[in-house]
Amino acid sequence: MPVGIVGVGNMGGAIATNLLARGWPLRVCDIDASKCRALEDAGAIVFADPAGAAAQSVVVVVCVVSAAQANDVLFGAKGAAGAMQRGQAVMLCPTMSPQDVQNIAQRLQAFGLEAIDAPMSGGPAKAGDGSMSLMVACEQGVFERQAALIQAMSSKVFRISERVGDGARTKLVNNLAAAVNLLGAAEVLAMAEHMGLPLESTLDVIEQSSGQSWIGSDRMRRAIAGDDAPRAHMALLEKDTRLAVDACLQAGFKGPLGALTRDAFSAASAAGFDRHDDAALLRWLRRQA
């Protein structure tokens, strides 16, 4: 069953590598042609535009960053939707607002295409070995028809609901929790540093005590070591926290931490850390002090 992947950056490229290793025939494209070269060597067929990757693909997996990019690769010039046959499916993996996901699904329906709301979490390493989390919302029939692909992509599939948009809602809830935990971890390490405490042993204590969080440990270990190589850009959590707080307000709920966390990531991005790894939140907090 040929699969198209539009956007083969960190996550999309890792998903492609995983599927190729499992024997899936892939048709790929990316605005950065260099990202396709290694996949071509591994057996993928590379196309210059989304329409080429989508033609003859039973499912097209969209792995771009934003709703604007998703709309462009699907409905823009040489977009994927116009090249697909009725009854085929589009899997939407970017972190987007629930309304954007629903709007895209409605536009796909006009082409006779099925929408799978399937944001992902876990990072490139887990996407590459098929162990990332996949939050799936779509009609049951669509889910059953594409079950083989979904299971090949992820060993941690969470079947959220049949309402497209609920995958996006779940992802925003998760990412806001991650951002709150990361901000807390960076703040307490900056605090420990000002108290004259050694950061390595302080984090050792936190990791074995009630303050532990996976993202705090993962990011702060890198920050302490001075490892600035970007795995997840600050700008992504800046976007995700903004979308999460907006969705929260639309649902009629306002919590005490969401807006504070959103504003912290916004300020860090505006201070020039937007293209840095989000572990650089510790460096930003040091500047504030």
Q: Which amino acid is present at 247?
A: A
Q: Which of 35, 171, 239, 254 is catalytic?
A: 171
Q: What Å distances lie between residue 79 and 29, 31, 83, CA to CA?
A: 11, 13, 7
Q: Which amino acid is present at 175?
A: N
Residue 171 annotated in active site: yes
Q: In angstroms, rounded to a whole number, what is the distance separating the alpha carbons of residues 175 and 218?
A: 15
Catalytic residues: 171
